[in-house]
Amino acid sequence: MTETNKISRRSMLTASAGLAATAISGTTIGKSMIVTPANPEGPFYPKHKQVDKDSDLTLIEGHTERAQGEVIKVTGQVLDDKGLPVEGALVDIWQANAHGRYHHEDDPATAPTDPNFQGWGMVKTDAEGRYAFTTIKPSAYMVDDKWSRPPHIHYKVSRRGYHEITTQMYFAGEALNEKDNLLNEVAENERDLLVVDFNEINGVLHGNFSVVLAKVS
Ligand SMILES: [Fe+2]
């Protein structure tokens, strides 16, 4: 599914008075947008300070080797519920490595650690509300013998004047998505908003995940 389709599915048909319907990269200003569904933070939000939290999770400052795994690029826009870009929003992501293990002391997984994977990154959106990360595709991991989490990236998105959102981004086409207890907590008609299609561009998988924040009234 293209980003344009995804955004238009978010859009409801109530046009907001006073705003011209101007297209911005597939979105339509002036229409009410569905606020991105929340999804649990989970137990592995980083506990300890980390010097390098930049937008390239595949390379830790000072290291010569890159992270293991398939490199992906995740880009998107942070928008308000009228479809207007939110500049200066903090996009905070954390995820498991290519083996399905978090860089977190509470992760009971026995899968290998990857000392060259940053695991955590933060960026602020630009004037058009855009952000971009380079990272690796996380692996699935077992929660217990009946439940394996599909590959996912955790997100927290915040900006003064807006309600903070904690959620998770999923990869389209993963068989585990349909059985995932946390993705299934999202209302069925909004679940697709968290599931992103990745397409190869110049040998790298690209996905677009836009986040809609509600204004604090
Ligand atoms: Fe997780």
Q: What digits encode the pLDDT tens for the residues 7-61?
A: 444 443 333 333 333 334 445 566 689 999 999 999 999 999 988 999 999 999 9
Distance 211 CA to ligand 1 centre (A): 18
Domain range summary for the chain, segments of one domain joined by + = 36-213
Catalytic residues: 102, 141, 149, 152, 154
Long-range contacts of 189-192, Cβ-Cβ distance < 8 Å, separation of 24 or more:
190/34, 190/37, 191/37, 192/1, 192/6, 192/9
Instruction: Compute the half-sphere exposure of residue 160: CA atoms within 13 Å on the CB side of its CA.
Output: 1
Compute the distance between CA of residue 184 and CA of residue 178 in angstroms, rounded to an integer.
7
Distance 200 CA to ligand 1 centre (A): 24
Compute the distance between CA of residue 192 and CA of residue 190 in angstroms, rounded to an integer.
6
> Superfamily assignment of 36-213 in CATH?
Aromatic compound dioxygenase (2.60.130.10)
Distance 14 CA to ligand 1 centre (A): 35
What SS3 class is residue 55?
A: coil
Q: Does position 123 have pLDDT exceeding 70, yes or no?
A: yes
Across the range 76-97, mean pLDDT stands at 97
Across the range 120-144, mean pLDDT stands at 98
How much is the pTM?
Answer: 0.86
